[in-house]
Amino acid sequence: MEWSVALELHMTHYMPWVVFACVVSFIGCQSIEAGQDPRSILDRAVDDFSSGRLTDAAAGFDEVAALVPSVAPQLWQRGIALYYVGRFEDCRRMFESHRTVNPNDVENAAWHFLCVARSESPSAARMALLPVGPDGRAPMTEIYQMFEGSLTPAEVLTAGEGLMGGARDRAMFYAHLYVGLYYEAVGNEAGAREHILVASAAEYARSGGYMHTVAKVHVSQF
């Protein structure tokens, strides 16, 4: 896959490791010139995050961004790691930066909301909600509307339930994950736990990819 193609993919991509391959390939070329090895640093940061070593993961993603600044806006994984170590202002800036290369990603806007909600308030996060272009993945339109306050979490779940097969599995994974994250942001801890636990279930590992790992990491923080 060409690097330019990777720029067009969404945060979850339904093929997250393809995106990692593109980023790793690109920074691998950069490391030859820099005399450093950002490829191995990125691999280690991903492994650290997956294993719950969140401080180490954030530091690793930071190092990649510093070594290869041209890649930094692509590192949405860094933004998520920053969220989990409580660096909410850095997290906010990361997702604002990612929007410059991926303006149609609802998930990017959602994580920006979560960062602002933690650093300021849910109402401030809604006011600062990043605009997005068309994101055709179900139920991303409904997820965005939930974060902007025009749909309820129940309506997000309903949007995924009408699909069939693998499309339904993917939609319900993302519906449960983002409903849970939204509930946590607005102070509904019981709702957050309920839905993120569903998203973290093994049956959604294939559908969720890297974001299923995020769900499992989140559960470990309960």
For residues 189 and 40, what is the distance between their CA atoms, to the nearest angstrom? 37
CB of 78 closer than 8 Å to CB of 149: no
pLDDT in tens, 56-92: 999 999 999 999 999 999 999 999 999 999 999 999 9
The model's pTM? 0.86
CATH number belonging to the domain at 1-135, selected among 1.10.10.60, 1.10.3720.10, 1.25.40.10, 3.40.50.970:
1.25.40.10
The pLDDT profile of the chain, 222 residues, written as one tens digit per residue, is 122 223 333 454 433 333 444 454 444 444 445 457 899 999 999 999 999 999 999 999 999 999 999 999 999 999 999 999 999 999 999 999 999 999 999 999 999 999 999 999 999 999 999 999 999 999 999 999 999 999 999 999 999 998 898 899 999 999 999 999 999 999 999 999 999 999 999 999 999 999 999 999 999 998
How many CA atoms lie less than 13 Å away from 161 in the CB half-sphere?
Answer: 7
How many residues appear in the chain? 222
| 153 burial via Cβ count (<10 Å: 0-12, 13-18, 19+) | buried
Residue with token string 């902007």:
148
The two three-digit tokens of residue 184, written as one number = 């946590």
- The radius of gyration computed from the CA coordinates of the chain, to the nearest angstrom, equals 17
Torsion of CA 192, 197, 198, 200, to 10 degrees: 120
C-alpha of 124 from chain center: 20
Selection from 107, 113, 114 nearest residue 127 by Cα: 113
